[in-house]
Amino acid sequence: MSSGLTWLKHLRRRRGRQVVSQAVRMYEFHRTPFEKIVDNILDQLLRYDARFTFPTVASVAPQKPEVLGKIIGAGCEVAVHGYRHLKYSLLSPADQKRDLAAALSMYRQMNVQVSGFRAPYNAYGKDTPEILNDVGLLWDGGIGYSRQYNEGTEMFRVPLAGGQSNFVCIPLSRWSDDLMIDEYHYGVAQMVAVMKRELDKARSSGSMVMFDLHPIRMGQPQYAGALGEIVSYGKGIGGWFPTVSEAVRFRQGREDWGDHEFCCLLTGDIDNFYFLDYLRRLA
Ligand SMILES: [Zn+2]
């Protein structure tokens, strides 16, 4: 860890205490190898026949192709989370296009089929929707995080110069793992209570809810059980837990959830597999 410690010192000089305490927390989380993190999540899901969608930074994907293979083998989905973990809202349209193209090309090379996108930090530039539309993706999972949309209960398309986006957007609940764990310091019981409440809301309106639950936190032994509890509860009240692509395809041209009362989309971004890559991103 000596190179990690050097980075931490560098960060403390440059970015201050809060960034450093978050980095220490991430260091602790990264002591669980990512293989184990993903296994912990998949174990919980498979017990209840539920799916999870993992928007993953494409430049790190080749570090662990076997993890991606396991995700896909479990019937789950990999989506695009940028080629690098950059704020699209700060990039020129040309740079956004380049980053997105590099990500798509990487997944093509790896033979990983991707149909969806979530921008790093849920940060979109005003040109980003047009750029996404041009590459023909099926869905976006981050535009729906903005205040304007995050209380919504239905998929939607965004207005573009020529009409509406071809891709579908999904409201993204503000109740993310980082909000509950890092910001509010919730324990597992509180997290489960909040997510059950959101499932109840989706059920009562026959609609949907999408969560962003980063594997680096939710795949830890102390949190993975919460995932199982949520899915078990949700299934008990008639919920469907498909991948995002499954849900989007199912919903096209209809207003119900078939045999189910409502739909819950479990998603979680993979920003990096290794702690050093996390630190490099901050510096
Ligand atoms: Zn991210």
The Å distance, Cα 57 to ligand 1 centre, comes to 8
* Residue 4 Cα distances to 20, 37, 118, angstroms: 12, 21, 28
**What pLDDT is recorded for position 12?**
63
Q: Which of 182, 244, 251 is nearest to 210 (CA)?
A: 244
The Å distance, Cα 86 to ligand 1 centre, comes to 9
Boundaries of every domain in the chain: 1-31, 32-282
**What pLDDT is recorded for position 7?**
65
pLDDT single digits (tens) 245-254 = 999 999 998 8
**What pLDDT is recorded for position 18?**
78
> Could you confirm whether domain 32-282 is CATH 3.40.50.2300?
no
In terms of DSSP bridges, do strands 116-117 and 139-140 run parallel, antiparallel, or are they unpaired? Answer: parallel
In this model, does residue 1 exceed pLDDT 60? no
Tokens of 77: 């989905």
The Å distance, Cα 109 to ligand 1 centre, comes to 22
* N-to-C CA span, the chain: 17
**Which comes out higher in pLDDT, residue 108 or 5?**
108
pLDDT confidence tier of residue 105, bands split at 50, 70 and 90: very high
Average the pLDDT over each of 145-159, 181-195, 203-217 and give the range with the smallest value: 145-159
pLDDT confidence tier of residue 2, bands split at 50, 70 and 90: low
The Å distance, Cα 192 to ligand 1 centre, comes to 22
pLDDT single digits (tens) 12-66 = 666 667 788 888 889 999 999 999 999 999 999 999 999 999 999 999 999 999 9
The Å distance, Cα 278 to ligand 1 centre, comes to 10
The Cα 71–Cα 283 span in angstroms is 30
Q: Which of 281, 280, 282 is nearest to 3 (CA)?
A: 280
Q: Which of 268, 253, 218, 257 is nearest to 234 (CA)?
A: 257
DSSP character at residue 178: I
The Å distance, Cα 100 to ligand 1 centre, comes to 14
Tokens of 221: 């032994």
The Å distance, Cα 261 to ligand 1 centre, comes to 31
pTM: 0.92
The Å distance, Cα 277 to ligand 1 centre, comes to 12
pLDDT single digits (tens) 122-177 = 999 999 999 999 999 999 999 999 888 878 889 999 999 889 999 999 999 999 99
DSSP character at residue 260: B
pLDDT single digits (tens) 229-271 = 999 999 999 999 999 999 999 999 888 999 999 999 999 999 9
The Å distance, Cα 212 to ligand 1 centre, comes to 10
Averaged pLDDT, 272-279: 90
The Å distance, Cα 271 to ligand 1 centre, comes to 5
Q: What percent of the chain has pLDDT over 70?
A: 94
Tokens of 15: 């970015």
The Å distance, Cα 75 to ligand 1 centre, comes to 22
Burial 137-147 (b: 16+ CB within 10 A, else e): bbbbbbbbbee
Say which residues have a Cβ less than 8 Å from residue 39's Cβ, sequence separation at least 6. Answer: 70, 219
**What pLDDT is recorded for position 282?**
76
**What pLDDT is recorded for position 150?**
77
Taking CA 276 as the corner, what is the angle to CA 22 and CA 110, rounded to the nearest 5 degrees? 120
**What pLDDT is recorded for position 258?**
94
Say which residues have a Cβ less than 8 Å from residue 252's Cβ, sequence separation at least 6. Answer: none
**Which protein residues have their CB within 5 A of the ion that is ligand 1?**
120, 269, 271
**What pLDDT is recorded for position 151?**
81
The Cα 139–Cα 132 span in angstroms is 9
